[in-house]
Amino acid sequence: MPTLTEPKLIAGNANLPLAESIASRMSLYRGVDQELVDARVERFNDGEIFVEVFENVRGEDMFIIQPTSNPANDNLMELLIIADALRRSSAARITAVIPYFGYARQDRRTKARTPISAKLVANMLTGSGIERVLTMDLHAAQIQGFFDIPVDNLYASPIFALDVRNHFKGHMEDLMVVSPDVGGVARARELAKRINAPLSIVDKRREKPGEVAEMTVIGDVTDKICLIVDDICDTAGTLCKAAQVLMDKGAKEVHSYISHGVMSGPAVERVTNSVMKSLVITDTIQPTEAILKAPNIRVVPTAPIFTQAILNIWNGTSVSSLFEDKTLVPIYESLYR
């Protein structure tokens, strides 16, 4: 059945390099020049956000590319206002491509009189006219249930598996996947299964938020190349301490694979000075100059998988097929040969 609408991409200011890379790849995949929709997203002197779309989007299938990373509130408001502008301009469908979903760590009430902010954000997105969400590695899977619209959650683990197989050739039998906490075991197990490696866990106990009091390694990591797997690296305190604990327990090397490099405050300096051989993050959040210059931090691109997911949504075909190597390898073959 022929597609009646054209896919059009529009971006906020949160991660323009990723949006431009997606547009460039879509041009390559479709054989049609695909540029970001001409628009301006600006701020008045008092900080109010103003959006103006300069192209006709009536009846078009619109994709807004905007992670809600730091500054989370500004980027979230940009996304909501862009969606409202498109809805009022009679776009046929509006999909929010949110590579990093901010507020995802507030997915439940941990104590009395606290909000569930992830649910509030879901309500705001739906109310703005967004009809579908495409994201990557939600902090908690149940966030998909906060929405009354379809949510496609991509995973970084298939991309990480390709990277691991490429960078650890000849040493695959020495690898040990490590979850930095009990809550992340499912995520770590997924990568361990893909690369056929054993799994270990670092059990941590916190005295208060942001501080780790004690860490215990569950599993034998002696002479192993440990790969710590997690979804978010914020200040990198826990990550660097876990790496040190693993080395103290006899690990040969420690590397980390993190989906979203939030990298707040002293994070880059901590990683640079840590015992970690490498930290691999994706570009769901635009890397800072400090991250790009750090000797032991690498950034892997997500544009190939997001581009294909957008095309699959537009065509009405499977997005979950991108979790399989036979589908993912061809779109990353230029990076991992």
Which residue in the list 204, 241, 252, 277 is annotated as catalytic? 204
DSSP-assigned letters across all residues of 326-337: HHHHHHTTTT--
User: What is the Cα–Cα distance from 314 to 93, expressed in whole angstroms?
Assistant: 10
Q: Is there a catalytic annotation at residue 119?
A: no
- Contact between residue 37 and residue 57 where contact means Cβ atoms under 8 Å apart: yes
- Pair of tokens at residue 278: 């490498």
Q: Is 237 annotated as a binding residue?
A: yes
Q: Is 46 annotated as a binding residue?
A: yes
Q: Is 48 annotated as a binding residue?
A: yes
Q: Is 238 annotated as a binding residue?
A: yes
Q: Is 206 annotated as a binding residue?
A: yes
Per DSSP, 36 falls in state B
Q: Is 231 annotated as a binding residue?
A: no
- Contact between residue 232 and residue 181 where contact means Cβ atoms under 8 Å apart: no
CA dihedral (25, 26, 30, 33) in degrees, to 10, reads -100
Whole-number Cα distances in Å, 55 to 9, 58, 90, 91: 11, 9, 12, 11
DSSP β-bridge partners for residue 103? none
Question: Beta strand pairing status for 61-65 and 225-233?
Answer: unpaired
Q: Is 234 annotated as a binding residue?
A: yes
Q: Is 181 annotated as a binding residue?
A: yes
- Pair of tokens at residue 94: 């509006």
User: What is the Cα–Cα distance from 319 to 311, expressed in whole angstroms?
Assistant: 9
Task: Label residue 18 exposed, middle or buried (CB < 10 Å: 0-12, 13-18, 19+).
Answer: buried
DSSP β-bridge partners for residue 199? 177
Task: Cite the active site residues.
Answer: 204
User: What residues form the annotated binding site?
Assistant: 46-48, 105-106, 139, 181, 206, 230, 234-238
User: What residues form the annotated binding site for D-ribose 5-phosphate?
Assistant: 206, 230, 234-238
User: What residues form the annotated binding site for ATP?
Assistant: 46-48, 105-106
User: What residues form the annotated binding site for Mg(2+)?
Assistant: 139, 181
